[in-house]
Amino acid sequence: MVEGAPDTCVTFEVAGDSEQWVQVFDQTVNAAYPYSDNPEERLSKLGLSLISTKLNCWEENKFATFEVTPFEVEPVTEWLDAYFVRVLGCRSGEYHLDTAFVQI
């Protein structure tokens, strides 16, 4: 269990690029999604199946929201890193994140 969950929303944003972000709240991941195609199909093609996700909603070229179950910290952090690299186009090991915590 993550300390502060489920009452805390954490936003991870690539330093210097407000278009590349991911939010984690409870068992939900809401992320920038700069594409018009279905997120589930794209993630599958990119091999992003490290954890069990269910697409809740999405708006093309804006965001995708996923439910993550079970929510285990290590696999989720690996998935988030893969999302930043494979979906948002960050360079592996070369991007830096700003974080913001909001109590809900």
Query: Sheet harboring 63-68: ordered strands across?
Result: 53-59, 63-68, 28-32, 21-25, 8-14, 97-103
Beta bridge partners of 9: 25, 102
pLDDT digits (tens, 9 = 90+) for 4-61: 566 889 999 999 999 999 999 988 999 999 999 999 999 999 888 767 888 999 999 9
Alpha carbons 38 and 104: distance in angstroms, whole number: 30
pTM of the shown model: 0.89
Q: What is the pLDDT of residues 64-88, one digit of tens each?
A: 999 988 888 888 999 999 999 999 9
